[in-house]
Structure 1
């Protein structure tokens, strides 16, 4: 069994309108200041900025965080601060979603968690005295940020053991925090169950706790296209949050067929003697997602007559992952496939989506996203160069856009290859944009925006 030391509870769960977290009034020499971090656990949120205002009315920015991300840990003076949580809307105006205050104390670390619907979010406050006596050890706090009102149990085992050998760590109710527990540094597996149950609902991959510090394990909902899933985020003292997906979680994929002369087509994973995953897939069509076990798959596209067109495509799906496959003809007119990983972000205020270029006639093209009142030369949103048979990702705020596909020559002369009508994004949709050839258009090219 694991060596574990119970630390007396020094945390509190509060809204910003209530008191701050309790801690000892005595600090230590190792951590002579106060330390503040912000984690965004609101699943339908925008990229959120935390601004501090001190007693002298001096304003400073702590940092920004998207859903499932955190700011770095910053050192602040020991005093009470006014807080403002805000985002920038599609007009460039700053919108404040929540205000409050926090009292910082010497040697204390405070993590502020934003939870609930972004239209009426709440802030939870986890405050504790930083430990300067850890010796090849680390501490963990367990935070339950789930939207559902349920309690969850956390277990831990060494990397060579399984759940039967795991130690129970703590129970945390909705929006609650556990006490702190200390373990020897090393590699571990974490498990989550419903409170009082021995049925594992999440088993993490092996994770190595390398630093002599306090970690927060934040249980949250997954907001990406793979619904009804949870993840356990490891929050340390940097802006890098490490999400631990269930190693037994399924994955999912969808398919876009850009091959006009294979209309309709069949898509198989594995042997073509079995049942196709997608049948009668028309050209210029994006399927819905289909959920399958994670793993490596051979993907094959065939015509309705059954002749194999792409016999050796490879699809790798990791736990909890969503991918889009684009079938197209390459520069040699051979059918092939390109896979891209879809964003796991909420797609509500900010849209993070993939752009795929399968135009073989040019080494690269440019793509511009033009909101109302802007032009190609004044828009802030563009991909300056994307090569043939490659993909790129771009983040756009919620708005309407006309999208332009442009070729630039060596003298920077521009040719418009395709342009869409003005398109208004739909919240919650996972978009895929494909630049492709189309003999039925005047230019011979088109942009297909699918979701």
Structure 2
């Protein structure tokens, strides 16, 4: 009797122990699942603008919240949302501050997944595509996705190497197309992870099936343990040809890489009112011949393509009446366009420079303003439309000192440009004003104020 009781008691203890083990296992499993879900428990949404002749585009929920704006080559911030179906609309704002509907797209958001909506193609009929991937918790590693958004639907073979290694040591990771987003596979995975090791890498692109490099990136430092999306896109703005590799993370900051062998360009403007022509010499870079030409007063040269590098500009007055400009350093980085503006200050030639915009100029105009009046500091420019005054003008640039430049993005429209400064009594003094001028061509505009033989002693020039 006692042995039977002990036997049953033993079996009960075994069953109880098994039951407790199952309960503990269940709790541990639930705890692990909750921990994983807590890392990325929302659905995530981001918009990227890859239309090379487009405008600044806003994305928002139909009859709902805005998810921000993005210019060409930029992205919105990433938003954390509930899962489910979401109807998005895309709009731009025209010159009359009226919203222009572009298109509508329905996306299905899923918890733990990030959805990237990309606008590509010609802006007259853009294509909106949603790509999604599941987010993962990563440590000292990153995942890499790639997509081509070039306007001609071109595909490229993508290679990658550790920074410093040549193309011969690079690893083929796949064909990047406009049809699908590709997740790339690391060639040197370890026991800890199959994902890429954090660090510095170089990206190479070739035509499909070719071993001739058409694009070699600058060093790209992958420092975050997260997912990266790289896109291959066209250039726009002042330079019209070439490729750029954008790196999209989980913020509105997009890193853009140009080809290490991409050409640069420059143009030079003679803002002086000297009767004699200026003799310009541009050169001094290794293995590049000096270029010499003349510019008459008020003349703007055409864009000149040149290899990237550090150059010097020397300018002389052919009459010899003005002190020359000697060896002004001009640095041109890959894929960069620079304006050089020659001025006369106190009978001595000088130069001011700035980088011209790489944004499309079809709808929104990136206009550079510069003060070339050496005896006037703190010049204010106002862009005044037909129904505005300088007090109500929506667009203006303030407090430009001599040789200082600034830019403003304007919707395509007609504007009267007015330049003023404040005297010692804080009263505004007019320097010059233009008639209504149409900023409506696909050009990179430059607006200057400079000395002239006018009633005020100054004039505004609009260059393009």
CA–CA separation in structure 2 for the residues paired with 1:115 and 1:155 = 24
CA–CA separation in structure 2 for the residues paired with 1:356 and 1:347 = 19
Partner residue of 2:326?
A: 311
Do residues 108 (structure 1) and 117 (structure 2) align? no
User: What is the deviation of 1:275?
Assistant: 7.4
Choose the corresponding residue for 2:156, options 137, 144, 152: 152
Choose the corresponding residue for 2:440, options 412, 416, 426: 426
Q: Of Structure 1 and Structure 2, which has the larger fraction of its residues in helix?
A: 2
CA–CA separation in structure 2 for the residues paired with 1:275 and 1:265 = 20
User: What do the CA deviations read for 1:164-221 (whole angstroms, capped 9, x no partner)?
Assistant: 1001111022343213433111011111111111111111111110111110111000
Structure number with greater Rg is: 2
Segments of 4+ moved more than 3 angstroms: 274-278, 303-308
Partner residue of 2:177?
A: 173
Unaligned runs of 5+ in 2: 1-35, 186-194
Q: Is the alpha carbon distance of 1:187 and 1:329 closer, same or farther for their aligned partners in structure 2, counting shifts above 3 Å?
A: same
Partner residue of 1:325?
A: 340
CA–CA separation in structure 1 for the residues paired with 2:275 and 2:81 = 62
CA–CA separation in structure 2 for the residues paired with 1:65 and 1:152 = 26
Choose the corresponding residue for 1:407, options 394, 417, 421: 421
Choose the corresponding residue for 2:387, options 359, 368, 373: 373
Alignment of 1:18-97 (within 5 A): 28-53=37-62, 59-97=64-102
Partner residue of 2:144?
A: 140
TM (norm. structure 1) is 0.89
Do residues 286 (structure 1) and 286 (structure 2) align? no
TM (norm. structure 2) is 0.86
Q: Which SS does the other structure have where 2:326 is aligned? A: coil
Are the aligned partners of 1:187 and 1:208 in contact in 2 as well (CA < 8 Å)?
A: yes
User: What is the deviation of 1:429?
Assistant: 0.3
Aligned-pair RMSD on alpha carbons?
1.9
Q: Which SS does the other structure have where 1:142 is aligned? A: strand
Are the aligned partners of 2:371 and 2:404 in contact in 1 as well (CA < 8 Å)?
A: yes
Ranked by relative contact order (alpha carbons within 8 Å, sequence separation 6 or more), the top structure is 1
Alignment length (residue pairs): 417
User: What do the CA deviations read for 1:249-300 (whole angstroms, capped 9, x no partner)?
Assistant: 110000000122263222212369x976352311111111101010111101
Unaligned runs of 5+ in 1: 1-26
Choose the corresponding residue for 1:122, options 127, 144, 160: 127
Partner residue of 2:398?
A: 384
User: What is the deviation of 1:308?
Assistant: 7.8
Which stretch shifts more, 307-316 or 99-108?
Answer: 307-316
Partner residue of 1:19?
A: none
Choose the corresponding residue for 2:205, options 164, 168, 192: 192
